[in-house]
Amino acid sequence: MDAKTFDPSEPTLYINRELSLLEFNRRVLEQAKDETNPLLERLRFLCIASSNLDEFFEIRVAGLKEQVVFRSVTVGPDQLSIGEQLKRVGEMTHALVAEQYRVLNEVLAPRLGEAGIRFLKPGEWNARQARWVKRYFYRELLPVLSPIGLDPSHPFPRILNKSLNFLVSLEGTDAFGRNSAIAIVQAPRALPRVINIPEEFTVDPHEFVFLSSIIHAHVDDLFPGMHVTGCYQFRVTRNSELFVEDEDIKDLLHALEGELHQRRFGDAVRLEVANECPAKMISLLQHEFNLTPEDIYRCDGPVNLTRLMAVPDMIERPDLKFPAFTPSRPRRLPVGSDMFAGIRRGDILLHHPFESFSPVVDLLRQAASDPDVLVIRQTLYRTGPDSPIAKALIDAARSGKEVTVVIELKARFDEEANIELATQLQEAGAHVVYGVVGFKTHAKMILVVRREGKQLRRYVHLATGNYHPRTARQYTDFGLFTCDTVVGMDVQKIFHQLTAPGRAGKLKKLLQSPFTLHANILELIEREAAHARAGRPARIIAKMNALVEQNVILALYQASRAGVKIELIVRGICALRPGLKGISDHIRVRSIVGRFLEHSRIFYFQNDDAREVYLSSADWMGRNFFNRIEVCFPVEDKRLQERVIKEGLEIYLHDNMRAWQLDSDGRYHRIKATAKSHDAQCALLEQLGE
């Protein structure tokens, strides 16, 4: 393209979001092959790649297939048709699945075996192990398995989403004279898929057997008097998007409860089958689930690699895992300190997981028991089972505080947990609302109102990540404590929007979706472009999970054309194409994939050396700008601002161990370490951990 005739509608300016997401999963899978990672962590990365692919089919592929059914002609800025997207997605996912099993069978399994960790196949069992397996089958499996022969009185059973099943071929007749040639065996979900063989029966220190292997070995016992000629595991992935028309329901909670059951039986989008399954049997399953040959994935191993995620936790081998670490606490907030006094002395920044999440829990616990605290308000998107956050809110409500919790019931795959949490909070006397119809509440906010003398002071916590203690040890995120009066008023206004009807009040410091965030981001980018055109210092550094929104991409292109140096750290999807001559020459895009999931959103604008730094719950995607309640908040304290720049941005721009760079063709290449290696996450653990 001629840079002088820049055409924003030119499809080559954009990378397809589905293909970009699969590129991210390829980078995750590469971590399973990376010998600098501990062996059991490499197994975890393999499982994460498998789990990511499951969700990709449940949501993204399912969405594309729906558009085919409804004959949608809507295309993204890359102008790829739905059919072309499905074709390219199929090519990439088949290659990814094949590579997953190659990595398991040819790389990880042999290395694990050398370390005394083995997954035994039936032909590898010794006599004592075979007897133990048989006892296990009769004690644990036989009582709960319900084989179903396919005949006129036994139609094909409903198959749960992602459940383990077996297609069994038979010969002979039973006691009733039936000669069912095919039967289905469904493995109950409550049973573990990987079983640890007791130590007294093992040769190596850690030996495991797959549930599928046990069923294979003893499937004949399920069909007495019949001859089993084949047994093949299979798994169906279904459309898991929830279909709840917000505008047409009176009670979102009850509507979701009804829809959650249906998620298990949505339209099939993928069929995984054992590698040795005959074509005739595959054809039967393909017809049953109304799938095409391209939807069939042959698996050279267990059909659900995600279930191997349990294995590292079953093995006490610290030498094969990432080193344990203890997150630190800010010096101003030692254990047992007065949270309110600490925050009054100035804003406090937390950088997870390197710094502890416990001060957030401490704030709520102290607020719950403090007689001067009148009001607690909080948003909850994901918080996890048995959450100390939920317990503190329940205790506060029971002690008579005015507790209001905005729970996002439609947080994908956390709906059931959030429904249960909403019920518990309501029973404790808290006010529970579900946000605004048609908009997901994705903002991360806590507001505590406390009486201090003759005034009411507002204490606020704002964050880039969820109020989830477990993920706070696995995701990188920032949180900010403040009692800034203006910020407190802004947060109070947002809570009023979420709980009561009325016009959106004008905010003074916070940017908010769906009202001001998108327009302000565009203005901030254009301001840098204006500085560059005038010869003033101009630079943008932005870190996020995904960059998709077309107008923001165009604004970044125009800023690059004006000479602004733009460095983007985008973990997952990036639809912007860097390195285009005359268009994105000044844009560099990198992705960090390491021990922790990069999750923080940071936006830095040099602004003629009067720099501004923002933290946010929002990625630069259309859904975050226009279909969600999001907040973006400034870091104004110069000392904390410097910390965010150094710890959240600059250190990642120098990473040469876990960094990948996006090329203009949409592919990523791994940045190679030079004379001196630099791993940002490891460096932060050393700097900030105890």
Question: Using one digit for the tens of pLDDT, what is the confidence trace for 313-359?
Answer: 999 999 999 999 999 999 999 999 999 999 999 999 999 999 999 99
Confidence at residue 244, expressed as pLDDT on a 0 to 100 scale: 40
Contact assessment for residue 364 and residue 376, using Cβ atoms and an 8 Å cutoff: yes
- Residue 259 pLDDT class (50, 70, 90 cuts): very low
Most confident of 111-120, 378-387, 665-674: 111-120
- Residue 138 pLDDT class (50, 70, 90 cuts): very high
- Residue 260 pLDDT class (50, 70, 90 cuts): very low
Question: Residue 136 is encoded by which pair of tokens?
Answer: 């296990």
Least confident of 18-27, 140-149, 237-246, 402-411: 237-246
Confidence at residue 413, expressed as pLDDT on a 0 to 100 scale: 53
Distance, C-alpha 438 to centroid of its chain: 22
Determine the 3-state secondary structure of 259 from DSSP. helix
Q: Cα dist. 183→27, 229, 284, 491, 678 in Å?
A: 40, 11, 12, 59, 56
Phi and psi of 592, rounded to 5°?
Answer: -110, 125
Confidence at residue 155, expressed as pLDDT on a 0 to 100 scale: 84
Residue 362: name the closest of 396, 394, 398, 335 by CA: 335
Q: Cα dist. 145→138, 194, 302, 317 in Å?
A: 10, 17, 19, 34
CATH superfamily, domain 512-688, is Endonuclease Chain A (3.30.870.10)
Domain 339-509 identical in fold to domain 512-688: yes
Question: Residue 556 is encoded by which pair of tokens?
Answer: 């970044």
Measured from the Cβ of residue 131, the count of other Cβ atoms closer than 10 Å reads 12
Taking only the tens place, the pLDDT of each residue in 539-584 is 999 999 999 999 999 999 999 999 999 999 999 999 999 999 999 9
DSSP 573: -
Contact assessment for residue 443 and residue 631, using Cβ atoms and an 8 Å cutoff: yes
| Packed helices 82-102 and 39-55: angle between N→C axes, nearest 10 degrees | 160
Instruction: From the options 3.30.1840.10, 3.40.50.80, 3.40.50.300, 3.40.50.1970, give the CATH code of 12-320.
Output: 3.30.1840.10
Contact assessment for residue 103 and residue 33, using Cβ atoms and an 8 Å cutoff: yes
Measured from the Cβ of residue 142, the count of other Cβ atoms closer than 10 Å reads 12
Q: Which CATH class is domain 339-509?
A: alpha beta
Least confident of 29-38, 144-153, 161-170, 213-222: 144-153
Cα–Cα dist 113/106, whole Å:
11
Most confident of 60-69, 152-161, 255-264, 403-412: 60-69
Least confident of 202-206, 448-452, 507-511: 202-206
Cα–Cα dist 444/630, whole Å:
8
- Residue 5 pLDDT class (50, 70, 90 cuts): low
Look-up of token digits 């599928």: 212
The arithmetic mean of pLDDT across residues 100-119, rounded, is: 97
Q: Cα dist. 629→19, 61, 267, 532, 654 in Å?
A: 27, 26, 30, 33, 33
pLDDT at 11 over 90: yes
Confidence at residue 180, expressed as pLDDT on a 0 to 100 scale: 72
- Residue 247 pLDDT class (50, 70, 90 cuts): very low
pLDDT at 251 over 80: no
The arithmetic mean of pLDDT across residues 589-602, rounded, is: 97
Residue 405: name the closest of 385, 382, 379 by CA: 379
The arithmetic mean of pLDDT across residues 206-218, rounded, is: 95
- Residue 428 pLDDT class (50, 70, 90 cuts): confident
Q: Name the β-bridge partners of 352.
A: 477
pLDDT at 409 over 80: no
Cα–Cα dist 192/184, whole Å:
19
Q: Name the β-bridge partners of 348.
A: 481
Confidence at residue 245, expressed as pLDDT on a 0 to 100 scale: 42
Taking only the tens place, the pLDDT of each residue in 464-484 is 999 988 899 999 999 999 999
Higher pLDDT residue, 468 or 456?
456
Q: What percent of the chain has pLDDT over 70?
A: 93
Q: Return the active site residues.
A: 442
Confidence at residue 249, expressed as pLDDT on a 0 to 100 scale: 41
Confidence at residue 248, expressed as pLDDT on a 0 to 100 scale: 41
Parse the chain into domains and list their residue ranges: 12-320, 339-509, 512-688
Cα–Cα dist 370/43, whole Å:
46
Question: Which pTM was predicted?
Answer: 0.93
Cα–Cα dist 115/206, whole Å:
9
Confidence at residue 177, expressed as pLDDT on a 0 to 100 scale: 66
pLDDT at 246 over 80: no
Confidence at residue 502, expressed as pLDDT on a 0 to 100 scale: 76
Q: What is the mean pLDDT of the chain?
A: 91
**Dihedral sign for Cα atoms in the order 311, 317, 318, 321:** negative
Confidence at residue 252, expressed as pLDDT on a 0 to 100 scale: 47
Higher pLDDT residue, 349 or 440?
349
- Residue 175 pLDDT class (50, 70, 90 cuts): low
- Residue 641 pLDDT class (50, 70, 90 cuts): very high
Least confident of 4-13, 56-65, 317-326, 615-624: 4-13
Confidence at residue 263, expressed as pLDDT on a 0 to 100 scale: 46
